[in-house]
Every structure is written in structure tokens, then in C-alpha cells.
Structure 1
Amino acid sequence: MLILQFMFLLLMLYTGSRFGGIGLGVISGLGLVIEVFLFKMPPTSPPVTVMLIIMAVVTCAAILETAGGLKYMLQIAEKILRKNPRRVTLIAPLVTYAMTFLLGTGHAVYSIMPIIGDVALKNKIRPERPMAAASVASQLSITASPISAAVVYYLTQLGGLDHTISLIHIIGVTIPSTLIGTIAIALYSMRRGVELEDDPEYQRRLQDPLWKEKILSTTATSLDEKLPTSARNSVLLFILALVSIVAIAMTPEIRTIAEGSKPIGMSVVIQMMMLAFGGIIMLASKVQVAKITEGVVFKSGLTAAIAIFGIAWMSDTYFQYAMPEFKAGILEMVGTYPWSFALAMFVVSVVINSQAATCRMMLPVALGMGLPPQLLVGIMPSCYGYFFIPNYPSDIATCNFDTTGTTKIGKYYFNHSFMVPGMIGVVTACIFGYGLAGFIF
């Protein structure tokens, strides 16, 4: 019966993934109702802490976007790319990695993709090389960002298990490992595929007058817009917020309010700091409050919160109910092959299209089985598996931005542009992270 119920869980996740975003959250809510009232599973608590963190971070980032901070970051990124056009395949993944690292979400990189494609095309570089690598790198970086929902949830759970585990322990592993994974992706991409002039799809499009006009007239840029000084200042304030969070994480004394009391949890600190700096940016930049909810960051962040709300609640209810039966068999497998839990994380992420939701679903399972924190942090990049099925918004958008047709979903669906870069990035990051975690913990 548990296996059938697990298949039902996967069915709900798959069905929700076809709608994406809010659809994934509400379909999971339907699954939760069936679990409780039909399968008689006791409901667990909803993921309130994770949702509050997402809301706080998204609010601050949305204010940054309204203040012009994202456009300022985009202009800096474009200047770097255009000053080094022949190295666009190496630089573009690092640029999108940095943007996600700062903002805690990969949804802010859509605006840079047309620019990456434009730089590549004007230098006769196959656009698939930098664009696919940049799309994958933007998602791989989520487990390195100190304000991403996935990292904060890890911190909340592992810190509750062992108060000596801090944010520095986690990002001390995930930053180097995912950065090395990103470099591996870029190096692989340098020579992938045939040269642009020899690509049959590119040549076919050049024979089509409409496509030819679109290809030859492409001039994507953000440098023609004059931004106010407040845009730069908002970025500096946002970076100061990140530095402050890391500094507070490194000094538990600051978080200790009364002598003899436990330090304030970092999940609470992140919520406070993000809301506070959101207020500081709003006041300093004179942001129009009504426009905050109109930006891409706010809409995508709120959508993610609702998706995680449903997914995590439904999944946690099932696994808490099934844990006594599953624990023995899974423990034996993971005890013999520790990396096998990374495979489980990867498979779940393929289905539910969210790193935070994957962590929220799988980490309690791992802790319930007594798996060591260093293993769980080392393999954390394996929660990014949704490149495997090419239906994630950033990957679809990247294909659409490439007017040459080199970045594509293949004839056989799984032979798409993101498969090999994704596998290289995740596997490299997990191998390096697993080794590094042994030294840091």
C-alpha cells in the first residue's frame, strides 16, 4: 500500500509540474487532502518558516528591482561580456552564477540571456555554448547563495540538529563545489557542437527571409539606458545585507540576546535582515511602493512560495507516515553506497522542478534515517535535477532567445542542449562537495 501511495505522490507531483508554479502548489494541496481523508495519513505542519524566508528575501529583492538595482547589475554584466567577447563561453556562466548567488533566485537571469546570445552571434560563436551553460549555471548557484530558500532550509534543519553547524559550514562547501561545477560546464562548452557556420539549423534559418532578418537585426543591449545613482546605491545596500547576514552567522555572540540563552536562529535573522534592508533600500532610493509587486522577482518568488507550500506539506505528510517502513531498506542501501541518496534527491528534483521543495521533501527523510550532516551538505547540489526534462522556464526561455536555433530541445526530447552541461555541473559539484565536507565538518 505504501508503494501505491508513493506512486500517487509522484503522480500528483508530475501532474502539478505540467502546470508549473502555483498549479504545482494547488495540485499538491489536492494530493494532501486525498492523503489525509482517503489514505488516513496524519497531516504534518505546513512549511511556515521556509515560506516566511522566501517572502522576506523576495520582498527585499523586488524592492531592489524596482529601485533599478537589477538593471544596474545587468549593465555591469553586459560590460564584462562585451569587453571579452571571444571568452563569452567562459564568462557567461560565471556571470549568471554571480547573479543568482546575489539574489537567491535564478529567475533574474532572463534579461541577460539575449545579450549572451547577441555577443556570441556577433563573434560567430555557436550561441548554444555560452547560453546553455549560463542557464545551467544560474540554477546550480542556488545551493551556494546564503539567502536562497534551499540553503536556509538546510541551515534551519541542520542547525536544529546540531547548534554548532552554521551558515558558514554550508556555503563553505557549496560555494567552492558549485563554482568548480560551473567552471567544468564552461570548459566543456568551449568546443561543444559544430561551429556556427557549419550548423545545419542555422544555415536553414538563413535561407528563410523572416529568420534571416531576425538573426541579422538582433541587437540586444541594456547599455542605452541611463540609470540614476540610486540604482547603484540599492545594489551596494543589497550586498551589504548579504555581508551582514554572513557576519552575524559567523559570530553567535551577536545573536545571543541574554546571557545563558541560545543564539537567535539564522532563519529568523535572515527574515529580519531582508525586511530591514528592504526598508532601507526603499527609503534611500525613494521607491514607488505600488510598483514593487509588478516586477519579475516578486511574481516569480511568490509563485515559488505557493508551490513549496503545497509540495512540502503533501510530501512531508507522506514520508512521516511511511518512514518506519522505509527506513530499514533505505538505510542499508545508503550505508553501502552513500552517494545513492544524492541520486534520490536528483530524481525527486526532476519531478518537482524546485530545489527548495526537493530539500524540504528529502532532508527530513535523511535526518530521520540518521545520515550525517557532512554527507547531506556535500551532496546538496544534487537537488538540482530539473534540467533533465527540458520544461523549466529558464531553459525554455533560453531556447527561445537563441535566434540561430543551436540551443534546442532535440528530436528525442532528452537529447537537449542542457542535458550534458547539467550532468557535468551536478556530478562535479557533488563529488567535490562530498570530499570538501569531510574537511569542513
Structure 2
Amino acid sequence: MPPDPSASPSFTPAALTIVAAGAAVMAISIGVRATLGVFVLPLSMLHHWPVSTFSLALAVHNLLWGLVQPLVGGLADRHGARPVIVAGSLFYAGGLLLTAGGSDPAAAMLGAGLAVGLGLSAASFPVVLALVGRAVPADRRSLAMGLAIAGGSLGQVILPPLGGVLIEGQGVTVALVALAAITLAMAPLALLLTERRPADAAPLSAPTTDSVYAPLAAAWKSGAYRLVVIGFFACGFQLAFISIHLPGHLSLCGMPPGAGANALALMGLFNVAGCWICGSLGSRYSLPRLLAILYGLRAIAVAGFLAVPLSEASLIGFSALTGFTWLATVPLTSALIAHLFGPRDLGLLFGTAFLSHQLGSFLGVWAGGWAFDLTGSYQSVWAAAGALGLIAAILHAAISDRPVFTPRCRPPEPASNVLH
């Protein structure tokens, strides 16, 4: 169990600055990403594209985000998060401008697909949370990450409606340029993200192995790490499937046209509370047990949603419970990895877990569309989402929170892989 937070002082002003700036960076990067879904139909109509054209570009940036995240996280661990986030803001803004200025599908693929995917990998959860985790003592790490995610979640509440207003009032092109300008604000915010490392974190100048991936090879020998990575796949599958296909499912069930958007907005609001509360609890209680509870709650939410007749009340209940757990797994998962292996290589190790998350996201989006085309229903994928939540809960319940090794010492033999 993590140490009692009352045993250490509150956040220093420098740590609070890092948490606040990190939250602002994530509010922009994740908020703009959430806004891109608003552009699918208007941009397709403007350029006379099939809807699948821009949708494929968004799917590619989702997958690329995960594929390059371990490398980008490792670079941030070695050279600092600041230059990585600045580069990410430039890629992100450039991708949006390329999409705004081109009428060819290739522009959308290069811009919204490849460039935005690279920008997200450099300016989102793994890089920012690794920096936040290194800036505070171990017994404050989960709370700091929860606060950063909670603040960042506000971007998902604010920016999509703003994007819709801009599209309606100024047009698609101007709206994309405005979003590009917003993403450039991440660069000056990154200047506030200085490396301030507590006593339990090795300095950046400490000796490192020759390979960027050497810490990953060592961590992969731990069964605990492998279970965390597998469990995070379930998180990505559930979130992507629900966020993309819930509106269509509700339409099929005869709910009003705005029901899906309202449900997702409600999830975003409850997500802020969930991240803050779970981040705080992570400083007091077992991280694996808390994650097991969250995944179990998701499984219960899906099972109840399928079992109870759909109504406005049942949809509100599902949205509230799902929203509470929505991104609450992120600060707890990153804090667990830092607790098990130390914070020095958190960008690489959490980035690899996030790759698993994004593979789950890609499969969740694809499986929902495939199932609907094949059967005219999403029921089978809803069932899979619930089952994956149960599996992830069981996997995390099998993990001990006893540290495996720290950056200052060699990992133990695989036999001590903290599995019950």
C-alpha cells in the first residue's frame, strides 16, 4: 500500500505550476482531438468526400499515436518533456493547417492522420503525466496525476462545442485554422514544465543504459507489468467503442437525435470528478485494487445498460457511472507503473502501455462498425466491452503493489514478479 499522504507536505508552488501547466497542455491536445469528430460530416460535404475518407484519417492518427508513443515517451524521459511537447504542438498545428488548406484526401491523411498523430504522441497523457509524476513525491504522485487529468478533461467539455460554433458561424476552414492556433499555445505552456525531481527519482544526468528500450525489456520480464499492459487494452476498447458508436446505438433504439451528444457531454463532466477523486484515493489505497474496482464498475455499467430497458433515466445513470470511470484509469495506471518501477522511465513504460490502449481503441472502433454492417446491431460488441471490463478487473486484482525495482538498481529475477 502507498505511504500515508499525511506523512509528507503538500505540493510545492513549483509542483503546482507543473500540474497546472500539464493540465492545460492536455486540455488543448485532448480537447482538440475530441473536436475533430465534429468535422467529419461538414468537411466531407465541403470536399464531396465519402464519410469514410476523413474517418480513416482519424483512425490512422489514433493508431499512429499509440505506435510511436513508446519511442516519444523514451525520448522525453532522456531529454526532458519540454522540447518534445514544443515539437508536438508544431506537428499538431501543422497537421490541422494542412487539412484546412487541402481539398485532396491525401491532405487529410497527411494532416489529420499522420501529423496530428505525431503531435498527440508528443503532447498528451504519457509525456505529460511522466513529467508530473517525477515532479512530486511518491505519496503524492497519484493525486497529482489525477488533478492533471481532471483539469485536462475540461478541454473535452469546452472545445467540441466551440468547434461546432466556429463551423456554423465561420466555416470549416476557419474553424480548423482556429484550432491550429489553439494548439500552438501548448508551446509556451511547455516552458513552464521544468524537470523537478523528488528524492525517489533519479536525475536526468544519472547513468543510463545504451538502448532507449532497455528499461522496457527489463520491465517486460515482470508479470505485473504485462498484466497492466493487457488490462489497459480493455480500457481503450471500451472508451473508443462507446465514444464513437453510442450515438448510433441510441438512434437505433429510438432516442432523440441529441441524446448521444448529451450523454457524451455528461460523461465528460463526471470524468472530471472521477479523475480527481480516484487520483486522491490512489495516494491512500492500493492502486491495483482501485483499478480492479474501476474496471468492475465499467462491466456493471455495461451489463446494466443492456439489461434495463433504455430510457432517459437509464441513459443518465449509465453516462454518470461510465463517465466517472472514463479517464480515471489513466492517472492510476501511470501511478502504478511509477510505483512498481520508479518514475525515471515512466514515459517509455507508460507509453508502451498506452500503445496497448490505442490498439484496443482501434479494434473497438472497427469492431463496432463491422458488427453493425454484419448484423445491423451493436449488441455483440457491447457484450465484448462488458466482458473485457470483467477480465481487466480480474487481472488487476492479481497484481501486488509491492515495487519490483527502481531506476537506481537492477530488476530482480522474474520469479519475484509481484503476482499472487
The question of a shared fold, defined as TM-score above 0.5 by the shorter chain, is answered with no
**Higher Cα radius of gyration:** 1
If the length of structure 2 is used for normalisation, what is the TM-score? 0.33
If the length of structure 1 is used for normalisation, what is the TM-score? 0.31
